[in-house]
Chain A
Amino acid sequence: MTGFTPAPPAAGCRNAPVLKERGQREVFCGLTGIIWLHRKMQDAFFLVVGSRTCAHLLQSAAGVMIFAEPRFGTAILEEKDLAGLADANAELDREVDRLLARRPDIKQLFLVGSCPSEVIKLDLHRAAERLTERHAPHVRVMNYSGSGIETTFTEGEDACLATMVPTLPATDERQLLMVGALPDVVEDQALSLLAEMGVAPVRCLPAHRAAEAPGVGAHTVVALTQPFLNETAAGLERRGARILPAPFPFGEEGTTAWLWAVAQEFGVSPETFAKVTDAPRARARKAIAAAAETLGGKSIFFFPDSQLEIPLARFLTRECGMTAVEVGAPFINKQIVGPDLDLLAEGPVIAEGQDVDLQLDRCRAARPDLTVCGLGLANPLESEGMTTKWAIELVFTPVHFYEQAGDLAGLFARPLRRRAILAGLEGAA
């Protein structure tokens, strides 16, 4: 039965040449991952060891959230910490003690490395071991790097999950492990679709709480829900797990292909699959159609940001009738986004890395109908008469699986509709 497998285009992008650029990169560092991870993981605290810049980044990016008793903070390095690393370790221990004394609800503490802490070679790994011993069994202290020199935006989530993988308990159970921090409502929808198909047991990484951490082992099959989880996937493979190749669950087609990959693995019959998915598929198609009216025939240009670019380009071109001009991603792992590249019709420039001024030149020359870019570029491009969709929203909005397919298309249609509505409005900037 291939009825649930999307038909690939005559030629896909898997073997398309990749334009690799190096130069100024207009991207976030991995620290930003903390902003959604600390909401997802209810008993975790993220302590960045960094500079005032890192603290400033977090508060600029976190906006309103930082007031809701955030479970993150920055241990700001001072002159004296730079002078002697021994002191820095003592200082860190003191700050952690103080923090944990104030927050007895914390069960997992992440020491998050930054550019300054990496450059002065502060050994946070050792610090995490030392502090775990000190605060066991109540708190487990782990460490990963969210520095800009090593990670781009969503790679912070990857680094965080990857550091948890070796700490997960071993299990021989045959299970599906769904990996990627999804909004709760989306996670629940996915779990219920899988349950209706009889796929069980299904566990999630990250879990809501430390106590719910999933096991992993040779009979674990991994379904990634996010394309940026390269290190995490590699770590899970090292623990014996197998990664299911599948397109990512964006749109009706992407979700169906993702679920079908799981269904085949777990021996779900096509009839059962159809019974479970027929209605939500029809709903998703209908919801997408509304936005596709605006999007059909329009061209789109992606600046690199989150690694969601390739799967989203696949969704927008195949399900919404758009044409991709350039699809830029900060990093491309063909093993993971290969199935999406197969489905993306040949044509767009596939670019990895960035030289922002050169890429802007290409974008201006192409005059795409819609440009997906970060907040540093969005308003400047708008003022040049280009329509933009700011990319960060794609990480902060429920966009996966059937019930969000219409919302996802709507995110891209909205700026175009807005420009049309305001077409008569003019005035000085």
Chain B
Amino acid sequence: MKLTVWTYEGPPHVGAMRVATAMKGLHYVLHAPQGDTYADLLFTMIERRNHRPPVSYTTFQARDLGEDTANLFKTALHDAFDRFKPQAMIVGSSCTAELIQDDPEGMAATMDLGIPVIPLELPSYQRKENFGSDETFYQIVKAIARPMERTAHVSANLIGPVGLGFRHRDDITEVTALLEEMGIAVNVVAPMGATPADIARMGAAHFNVLMYPEHAETAARWMEKNLGQPFTKTVPIGVGATRDFIAEVARIAGVEPKADDARLRMPWYSQSVDSTYLTGKRVFLFGDATHVKAMARVARDEMGFEVVGLGCYNREFARDIRKLASEFGVEALISDDYLEVEKAIEDLAPEMILGTQMERHIGKRLGIPCAVISAPVHVQDFPARYSPQMGWEGANVIFDTLVHPLVMGLEEHLLHMFREDFEFHDEAGASHHGGAAKARAVEAEPETDQEAAAGAAPAEGEIVWLSAAEKELKKIPFFVRGKAKRNTEKFALEKGVHEISVETLYEAKAHYAR
């Protein structure tokens, strides 16, 4: 057992739902207890879909357990087939149904509905949501896609976008445009928007664009092997990655690497002098491996930040992320334990977090600005406006997103210079973030008990801040204060100093000067 407050991923059947809901003409019959229909509202509320997910649940109850839950499943399958007339179906179990072992696969096989009925093996007590989507898409492709003659004109499938995907909707548009500029047509986008009939003609494409490895890498590999389609390895998030992507596509497709980046504003925005203060901002990244990988590069090479830590919650990509971390010279955090992530962030005291919905709340608790770069996300990250992450417009969107949570340059300078301002002080937070202005509490200076502090013999390895040094520390603006404090303490420890004076503080500052 493992105590969990937050889970970064749902159970694998939610991943299967994300594939089913993304597609059209496909129906999912899920053997599940009453209550598991909660998952519908992920789609109807968070993603604001205007129709019910194409999922029939058996919703068995306790009284059904003694009887024939298998029959319940058969009835549900029949009813769904009659009512929704799908081109294909997927069938499987939720975590509870997995325990009662009714064998949806066997039952579906005996029913002979005249359409493909694809059974899913999703081990709920070992794997999670992303595994569920990847496996489901793979099973669907494997069951339906077949080798066929290539399109006369060079074309590609876009694979990976699913329901509840972070910005998948707009990424499709952006990537389609990138390909179009090179004269490459899109054959099928899948799972998003595809029917089983579309899956059947995926073999006609010359290659695959693997947009999200989390959801389609297994299918991509299968198609490479069985349909002879190479797939792209670069995910075009960020300016550099988009250029690399274009080069990779050109090579695979044997076309000219053409790019119309007339609307790309990100590089100039980042180069303009107003962005100078972004240099070396210490950021921590966490999310799914794909977005973390891409955004780490953006953060360092395109925004000029310093990446002080990174990690992902999906173990499937642990090796990639470890490799990336070593390239960045930082520690990789592979964990799905929210409290561990919180601890890591607390220890590193970054100036900004690039993470998921959960990191937003860690940031809120610790007072660190945060931008969302990866699922899981909530309703506000399914925006009405066009907001891709990929391609040129994606880069523009990312620039704005990453700058917004930070205190603006002039504000930052003024905070450095005048710390005693009663309404414009560091605890008041960034002035463009709303919230009532908190007037600074005017405290009476507490009598300094420097002697007392010094007199008490500090325990081994313990460090005492003399009150003058403590006061000096407070003069450092809040977004770098945590880092300064830790550096000073580390410096003192290394030097064997147990009391930190103003002097120590500045010596440490000089020591760590960059």
A→B interface (CB under 8 Å): 23-32, 47, 49, 51-53, 55-57, 59-61, 63, 66-67, 70, 72-79, 81-82, 88, 91-92, 94-95, 98-99, 115-116, 118-120, 147-150, 152, 357, 374-380, 382-383, 429
B58 — which chain A residues lie within 8 A by C-beta? 24
B125's partner among A61, A78, A357 (CB-CB below 8 A) is A78
A149's partner among B2, B9, B33, B48 (CB-CB below 8 A) is B33
Contacts known (A51-B124, A76-B1, A148-B33); A376 close to B7, Cβ less than 8 A? no
Check A73–B3 contact: CB distance below 8 A: yes
* A383-B52 Cα distance, complex, nearest whole Å: 11
A56's partner among B7, B34, B57, B83 (CB-CB below 8 A) is B7
A28 — which chain B residues lie within 8 A by C-beta? 35, 38
Contacts known (A57-B35, A73-B3); A119 close to B99, Cβ less than 8 A? yes
* A91-B49 Cα distance, complex, nearest whole Å: 40
Check A66–B125 contact: CB distance below 8 A: no
Contacts known (A24-B57, A79-B125); A95 close to B65, Cβ less than 8 A? no
Check A25–B37 contact: CB distance below 8 A: yes
A99 — which chain B residues lie within 8 A by C-beta? 3
Within 8 A of A (CB), among B12-52: 13-14, 33-42, 44-45, 48-52
B364 — which chain A residues lie within 8 A by C-beta? 67
Within 8 A of A (CB), among B310-331: none
Check A95–B3 contact: CB distance below 8 A: yes
Check B37–A379 contact: CB distance below 8 A: no
- CB of B95 closer than 8 Å to a CB of A: yes
B433 — which chain A residues lie within 8 A by C-beta? none
A82 — which chain B residues lie within 8 A by C-beta? 99, 125
B34's partner among A29, A59, A92 (CB-CB below 8 A) is A29
Check A59–B41 contact: CB distance below 8 A: no
Contacts known (A77-B1, A116-B99); A29 close to B7, Cβ less than 8 A? no
B50's partner among A52, A149, A152, A379 (CB-CB below 8 A) is A379
B→A interface (CB under 8 Å): 1-7, 9-11, 13-14, 33-42, 44-45, 48-52, 56-62, 64-65, 76, 79, 83, 94-96, 99-100, 124-126, 128, 361, 364-365, 378
B76 — which chain A residues lie within 8 A by C-beta? 24
A375 — which chain B residues lie within 8 A by C-beta? 40-41, 44-45
B51 — which chain A residues lie within 8 A by C-beta? 380, 383
Check A56–B59 contact: CB distance below 8 A: no
Q: Is the interface of A mostly helix, strand, loop or mixed?
A: helix
A357 — which chain B residues lie within 8 A by C-beta? 79, 83
> Can you name 15 extra interface pairs (CB under 8 A) apart from A29-B35, A53-B95, A376-B40?
A24-B37, A27-B34, A28-B38, A51-B124, A56-B11, A59-B7, A60-B38, A74-B4, A78-B125, A82-B125, A94-B1, A119-B99, A148-B96, A152-B34, A379-B49
* A150-B33 Cα distance, complex, nearest whole Å: 9
Nearest-CB residue, chain A, relative to B51? A380
B7 vs chain A, min Cβ distance (A): 5
* A76-B1 Cα distance, complex, nearest whole Å: 5
A75 — which chain B residues lie within 8 A by C-beta? 1-4
* A61-B51 Cα distance, complex, nearest whole Å: 20
Nearest-CB residue, chain B, relative to A31? B35
Check B6–A59 contact: CB distance below 8 A: yes
* A95-B76 Cα distance, complex, nearest whole Å: 38
* A78-B4 Cα distance, complex, nearest whole Å: 12
* A26-B44 Cα distance, complex, nearest whole Å: 13
Nearest-CB residue, chain B, relative to A114? B96
* A149-B44 Cα distance, complex, nearest whole Å: 24
B437 vs chain A, min Cβ distance (A): 23
Check A25–B124 contact: CB distance below 8 A: no
* A383-B61 Cα distance, complex, nearest whole Å: 31
Contacts known (A29-B33, A56-B11, A379-B44); A118 close to B1, Cβ less than 8 A? no
* A70-B338 Cα distance, complex, nearest whole Å: 14
B36's partner among A94, A148, A150 (CB-CB below 8 A) is A148
B78 vs chain A, min Cβ distance (A): 12
Q: What are 16 sample pairs from A and B whose C-beta atoms fall under 8 A apart?
A: A24-B57, A49-B1, A52-B10, A52-B128, A55-B4, A60-B39, A60-B41, A73-B5, A75-B1, A76-B7, A115-B96, A149-B34, A150-B61, A357-B83, A376-B38, A376-B40
Check B33–A147 contact: CB distance below 8 A: yes
A232 vs chain B, min Cβ distance (A): 19
Check A78–B59 contact: CB distance below 8 A: no
* A59-B129 Cα distance, complex, nearest whole Å: 15
A88's partner among B1, B4, B44 (CB-CB below 8 A) is B1
A29 — which chain B residues lie within 8 A by C-beta? 33-36, 38
B79 — which chain A residues lie within 8 A by C-beta? 23, 357
A99 vs chain B, min Cβ distance (A): 6
Contacts known (A53-B11, A76-B2, A374-B41); A149 close to B125, Cβ less than 8 A? no
B1 — which chain A residues lie within 8 A by C-beta? 49, 75-78, 81, 88, 91-92, 94-95
B124 vs chain A, min Cβ distance (A): 6
B32 vs chain A, min Cβ distance (A): 8
* A92-B13 Cα distance, complex, nearest whole Å: 25
Check A26–B37 contact: CB distance below 8 A: yes
Nearest-CB residue, chain B, relative to A99? B3
Check A429–B34 contact: CB distance below 8 A: no
A131 vs chain B, min Cβ distance (A): 14
B361 — which chain A residues lie within 8 A by C-beta? 67
A148 — which chain B residues lie within 8 A by C-beta? 33-36, 59, 61, 96
Check A150–B62 contact: CB distance below 8 A: yes
* A150-B3 Cα distance, complex, nearest whole Å: 23
Nearest-CB residue, chain A, relative to B376? A59
Check B40–A56 contact: CB distance below 8 A: no
Check A383–B33 contact: CB distance below 8 A: no
Contacts known (A52-B95, A375-B41, A376-B44); A25 close to B34, Cβ less than 8 A? yes
B61 — which chain A residues lie within 8 A by C-beta? 148-150
Check A115–B35 contact: CB distance below 8 A: yes
Check A61–B38 contact: CB distance below 8 A: yes
Check B96–A383 contact: CB distance below 8 A: no
Check A66–B38 contact: CB distance below 8 A: no
Nearest-CB residue, chain B, relative to A361? B83
B101 vs chain A, min Cβ distance (A): 10
B11 — which chain A residues lie within 8 A by C-beta? 51-53, 56
* A77-B124 Cα distance, complex, nearest whole Å: 10
B38's partner among A57, A76, A149 (CB-CB below 8 A) is A57
Check B65–A429 contact: CB distance below 8 A: no
Top 5 A-B pairs ranked by shortest CB distance? A148-B35, A29-B35, A376-B40, A383-B50, A115-B96
B215 vs chain A, min Cβ distance (A): 18
* A357-B14 Cα distance, complex, nearest whole Å: 21
Check A53–B34 contact: CB distance below 8 A: no
A72 — which chain B residues lie within 8 A by C-beta? 5
Contacts known (A149-B34, A380-B44); A79 close to B96, Cβ less than 8 A? no
